[in-house]
Every structure is written in C-alpha cells, then in structure tokens.
Amino acid sequence: MNYFVTGGAGFIGSNLVDRLLSLGDAVTVYDNFSTGIPEYLETAKKHPGFHVINGDLLDQEKLSSALAGCDFVFHLAANADVRFGTEHPAKDLHQNTIATFNVLEAMRKNSINKIAFSSTGSVYGEAKVIPTPEDAPFPVQTSLYGASKLAGEGLIAAYCEGFGFQGWIFRFVSILGERYPHGHVFDFYKQLRAHPDHLDVLGNGHQKKSYLYVQDCIDAIFIAQEKSRDKVNIFNLGTDEYCEVKDSINWICGHLNLKPEIRYTGGERGWIGDNPFIFLDCKKIHSLGWKPKYTIHEGIVRTLEFLEQNLWVMERR
C-alpha cells in the first residue's frame, strides 16, 4: 500500500510512519513542521519507500499534487494543543477543520477514498456518561479544539455518504510514549529539571485522566482498519483505567527520585475547556481483539525515559 500521512513528522505520526515502513509499505509524509520534528524522520529516511513533503494543508494545490498515486490517507496533522484555544480562536478552525476539508477535497480530486482520522476524547466535552461510549448523547462542546475535531469528523462522515469514502475515526485519550513532545509529563519534567524543589500544577490535582501508550494506539488503529469495514468506523482508543494528576505526579517524582513542594493553582479544571474527568468506554475496540499492553504508569515511565535520553527534545519546545 502507498500511505499518505499528514502530520507524519509529529509525535504519533512519526511512530506510525516507522511502523508502516517496517511492514513493507510505502509512505509519503506531508507536514509543515510547525510542531513536527525533522529528527523523528531519520529512521524513515533510510527506507527506499519513504518520501517527505514540506507542505501546509492550507495550500490546496500543493496538497492535491502531493496526494497523487496514494491509496490511503492517515490524517494526523492538526493543532494538537487543546489548552490554548481561547488565545487564538481561529487556529483550531483553520488547522483542524478547514485543513480536514482540504484533505478530503484533495482525496476526491485524486480518486482516493480511504481515510483514518485522529480525533479526540475531547469531543465528548464534559460527558455525563462515564466511561463514555462512542454513542454517548450528542456532546456539548467545551473547547475550540474539541469542536474543530468534531467538525472534522462530521466532514469525513459526510464525504463517506456523499462521495463513497470509507472513514476510520479514532477518538484518542491522551497519548504517551517515545517522541512525546507536549502534555503534562513533558511540562512537569521540564519544570523539575529547571527547579527540582517545586512543581506548579494547574488545577487541584484531582483531575482524572486516561492515557494510552503510543504503540498500543497504533496497534488499535491497525486492528480497526483490518476488522471494521463499515462506511464510517468510529472508535474510542484508551485504556480501561484512569489516574488522578496527583498519581501521575507521584509516579514522575518517584521515577526521578525527587520530593518537590507541589503548588496547585486550584479549581477543578486546569484551564478553560479542561475536562476534569476523561475516561472512555473502549468495549468496541476490545471486541475486535485489541488490548493495550502497557498500563498508564508504564506509559508515563517510558515517556520519561525517552525524555531523559533525548533532552534536546525539551529544548525544541
């Protein structure tokens, strides 16, 4: 297969690219390197079936010609940071919704009709049903990021109906693991390197979150694509556990052998749009035979080990 991976220089995308290449597939990465890291593609570049195009999804012409000859699109490029949405309200709309529309249009022009999309558990807003299943009551949005991703999901479903596309939509919890360049483990480790005696934490530390290790996430994506062949295939991807931010702090400090003073900003939420309890019902993906191999604790430790061995990543952000 000839795969096209938008956002392939990013955290999840570059891990996916390496996996696809290791399975003998050809891969074209399309990335504007806004948050993508060129070094993440070093292994991929040694592969004869690999191409990288430095391009923006908002450049429709370049995107359309880049897609020629591909069979399947993994659309991962996005503004992946949920936290700062209200600081730049147009960013999520452009980078997540309009960019997704551009990908779909470019696919249509090139007669490519299979797409997998990295959506998010944030589309459930502050769900009333926990663990939250894929068919939870139509969610009220609480972040521009979630809203822009849900709009992207809607466009994909409409292209499936209107133009005979087939779509796989994955609503991820927070993903952890090698090449992790943003999120709470990154922030906490960065702080603790700068001042090991104290740690500033957004919220009251009781926010409950679920996390998934990146290789488990990729396994689940492959299984869903192989075994679920509906027109629109929507899957929650997460672990069957959650932890409090305080648990995560204990694991991180335990691993680093530090006992900092923890300073909470207070309140149930870390920021506007932060969901104090994210826990997804993953029975649907389990029914296809997938199970995560790593616990949240193990995922956090693997992430820290990666950052400890790759301190240069900390300096890039």
Ligand X SMILES: NC(=O)c1ccc[n+]([C@@H]2O[C@H](COP(=O)([O-])OP(=O)(O)OC[C@H]3O[C@@H](n4cnc5c(N)ncnc54)[C@H](O)[C@@H]3O)[C@@H](O)[C@H]2O)c1
Q: Which residues bind ligand X (CB under 6 A)?
A: 6-7, 9-13, 31-36, 56-58, 76-78, 80, 95, 99, 118, 120, 172, 174-175, 181, 183
- Cα separation, 140 vs 125, in Å, equals 6
Shortest distance in whole angstroms from residue 77 CB to ligand X: 4
Residue nearest to ligand X (CB): 10
Cβ nearer to ligand X, comparing 94 with 246: 94
Measured from the CB atom, the residue of 5 and 160 that comes closer to ligand X is 5
Q: Within 13 Å and on the Cβ side, how many CA atoms surround 311?
A: 5
Q: Which residues partner with 114 through β-bridges? A: 166
A 10 A CB-CB count for 172 gives 24
CA dihedral 244, 136, 235, 179 (to 10 degrees): -30
Of 40, 124, 145, 211, the catalytic one is: 145
* Residue placing its CB nearer to ligand X in the complex, 19 or 196: 19
DSSP string, 277-296: B--B--HHHHTTT---SS-H
**Rounded to the nearest whole angstrom, what is the least distance from the CB of residue 12 to ligand X in the complex?**
4
Q: In this structure, what is the dihedral angle of CA atoms 96, 169, 5, 42, given to the nearest 10 degrees?
A: 100
Q: What single DSSP character describes residue 280?
A: B
**Which tokens go with 136?**
């939870």
Q: Report d(CA 22, CA 242) in Å as an integer.
A: 32
d(CA 129, CA 281): 9
93 vs 262 by CB, closer to ligand X: 93
Measured in whole angstroms, the distance separating CA 80 from the mean position of its chain's CA atoms is 7
- Residue 40 annotated to the active site: no
Computed on alpha carbons and rounded to an integer, the radius of gyration of the chain in Å comes to 19
Q: How far is the CB of 273 from ligand X (least distance, A)?
A: 14
Side chain identity at 2, as an amino acid letter? N
Report, in Å, the least distance between residue 10 CB and ligand X.
2
Buried b / exposed e over 271-289, threshold 16 CB at 10 Å, is eebbbbbbbbbbebbeeee
Nearer of residues 196 and 240 to ligand X, judged by Cβ: 240
Give me the least distance between CB of 195 and ligand X, in Å please: 25
Pick between residue 81 and residue 161 the one whose CB is nearest to ligand X.
81
Q: How far is the CB of 257 from ligand X (least distance, A)?
A: 26
Active site positions, annotated: 145
